[in-house]
Amino acid sequence: MKFHNKEAIYLQIVEMVCEKILTRQWGAGEKIPSVRELAVSIEVNPNTVLRAYGFLQEKEIVQIKRGVGYFVSKGAFGATLAFMKTKFLENDLPLFFRSIRLLGIDFDDLQARFELLEESDERNENK
Amino acid sequence: MKFHNKEAIYLQIVEMVCEKILTRQWGAGEKIPSVRELAVSIEVNPNTVLRAYGFLQEKEIVQIKRGVGYFVSKGAFGATLAFMKTKFLENDLPLFFRSIRLLGIDFDDLQARFELLEESDERNENK
Amino acid sequence: MKFHNKEAIYLQIVEMVCEKILTRQWGAGEKIPSVRELAVSIEVNPNTVLRAYGFLQEKEIVQIKRGVGYFVSKGAFGATLAFMKTKFLENDLPLFFRSIRLLGIDFDDLQARFELLEESDERNENK
Amino acid sequence: MKFHNKEAIYLQIVEMVCEKILTRQWGAGEKIPSVRELAVSIEVNPNTVLRAYGFLQEKEIVQIKRGVGYFVSKGAFGATLAFMKTKFLENDLPLFFRSIRLLGIDFDDLQARFELLEESDERNENK
DNA sequence: GTGGTCTAGACCACC
DNA sequence: GTGGTCTAGACCACA
């Protein structure tokens, strides 16, 4: 897995897990990779994975069963959606709007880019 | 001046300067506050201001006249726009689109919010 | 390590690193000394080393793995060569030529000196 | 006059004067521009010119007649040549050779560049 | 007065 | 352990 430097790696792992849940790749009650497994597969220090899992546990998105592993918790989908939506609306959106206005970016242009992206992804899915 | 903790102060100073330039408050060739002056006025260590100015100098947004001070460089508006636009398109926008899709947010809804914001600002300007 | 006063220490550190890379003492992907390590070994403040490393990172000669340290980046040899060659051709060479002409120095004479130097170094290597 | 940022302005003025002398544009005993005159013509603070003249006076390249102005001193040509040659051979040349070897630059290539430069200048002179 | 460099040391987030 | 930021303050060269 590739990480960018603008955000802590553990938060990028958190995002990855959230994405799995929101896209229904990981369903409620399902076991997720063990700390060590994931650490090896994404080439990261186990401590870093642990921190991500701990963070997710706090948000009640995953839960731990001692000696067994981490599992997607029951209300995970809702909790994830709520958590990310709040983050988005409160933090990202205002900054985003500010940038758009400062840079004089046309909203319609963005929409066009967005739709272009959607189409290209649909093509990829059909492959 | 108030700073948030999510970004280094010197980068927030960079942003402040860019904003001044993009909003035409500071024009090409104009002298900007000396390192010490600005440091005092925003209650920050001179080193921190210096770092911001150095960063801007590298981006050719600002230039120095030895022993005199820093000045907005000739192509500053363009350079600033280019710098910030690149940052926006490469860093912010992809993350933004990813969030929208993941959260199932409707683009039209965003546009409505955005236009609402613009209107309310117009009202403020007319005050 | 001994530093001269004609150039900032952090730039002398930059040069030192570049030399290590150009002479293949430090290869791509190799870890370079941590900021604190190097600071201790050359008896300089860690901030000064950090500044040099930051400079090199910008030139893509060196890259950081978070929490692990700095590493010689993949294209380091090429990037270093390009960076130093540009610096040489744009800054040093014009001044050099100007001096030669002004002082009426014979180019062939320089070449002789240079070859002499090369020979004496070859003898040193063979020791 | 245009200055670069790599060297103090007053030293660039020194170089300019030396060039005038070495190219016989300014002969021994000749009056050189007053501090104020030169300062205005090259758009520089008078203090800066003064510093350059002071430096040249120390090297016995110019001399001051109180209340009259600065003059090229008798042995100026020789003094200038000696001063600059020493500087060149002791400071510049060793660094220059080191760069060439480190960067693997071919000496013959440099010679070609140099001759190219000479030719283009001859053309300019004939204009 | 201007900027620039360096030190010493604290504190932080992250791996 | 790693790097990164910031402060406080000294000292310097330069205009």
Q: Is B23 on the interface with A (CB under 8 A)?
A: yes
Q: Does the beta-carbon distance from C117 to D97 stay under 8 Å?
A: yes
pLDDT, tens only, D80-115: 998 888 888 888 888 889 899 999 988 888 888 888
Q: Is B58 on the interface with D (CB under 8 A)?
A: no
Distance between A86 CA and the closest CA of chain B, angstroms: 10
Please list the ranges in chain A whose pLDDT falls under 70.
125-127
Characterize D70-109 residue by residue with b for buried, 16 or more Cβ atoms within 10 angstroms of its Cβ, and e for exposed.
bbbbeebbebbbebbeeebeeebbeebbebbebbeeebee
Residue D85: which of C106, C122, C16, B110 has the closest Cα? C106
Across chain B, the runs of DSSP E, i.e. the strands, are 62-65, 69-72
| pLDDT at residue B127, as a whole number | 61
CATH architecture designation of domain A9-76: Orthogonal Bundle (1.10)
Within residues 53-112 of protein chain B, the ones with CB less than 7 A from nucleic strand E are: 53-54, 57, 64, 67-70
| Backbone phi, psi, residue C69, to 5° | 145, -175
Mean per-residue pLDDT for B42-58?
95
Q: Does the beta-carbon distance from B88 to A101 stay under 8 Å?
A: no
CA atoms within 13 A on the CB side of D65: 10
| pLDDT at residue C127, as a whole number | 60
The whole model's pTM is what? 0.88
Map out the domains of chain B as residue ranges: 9-76
Residue C35: which of C15, C25, C50, C24 has the closest Cα? C50
Q: Does the beta-carbon distance from D99 to C84 stay under 8 Å?
A: yes
Tell which strand E nucleotides have any atom below 7 Å from a protein Cβ: 1-9, 13-15
Sequence-ordered alpha helix ranges (H) in D23-106: 35-41, 46-58, 76-87, 93-103
Distance between C67 CA and the closest CA of chain D, angstroms: 33
The residue lying closest to nucleotide E7, measuring its CA against C1', is C45
Please list the ranges in chain C whose pLDDT falls under 70.
127
Please list the ranges in chain D whose pLDDT falls under 50.
none
List C-alpha distances in Å: C107 to A89, D115, D125. Answer: 69, 10, 22
Query: Which residues, 6+ apart, have CB-to-CB distance to B107 below 8 Å?
Result: A111, A114, B100
| pLDDT at residue B122, as a whole number | 77
Output the six-digit token pair for B16. Answer: 């402040």
Mean per-residue pLDDT over chain B, rounded: 91
